[in-house]
Amino acid sequence: MNTIDKRNRLGEEPFQYRVSKDNTVFLDYYGRQVKILKGKEAEKFLKRIHAAEDTTEEQLIMAKVTGNFKRGNERN
């Protein structure tokens, strides 16, 4: 795990997820919504999250699902 998260960003737990009544999954990054998963994609995500062993693995799963949305030039 050390080679994946070299800057220890996932230790801060920046990602969160919410599940609605119709199994729509909303992924948030520092409280801002960045991705919505529906249908089979949401089911697959929930299976992977529930199978995760710890919070770091959950954070890694959410980071991979959100993809490359950060480019490094966003303003705070």
Starting at the earlier edge strand, list the strands of the sheet with 15-19. Answer: 15-19, 25-29, 32-37
- pLDDT tens-digit map of 11-70: 888 999 999 999 999 999 999 999 999 999 999 999 999 999 999 899 999 999 998 766
State whether residue 35 is helix, strand or coil.
strand
pLDDT at 1: 52
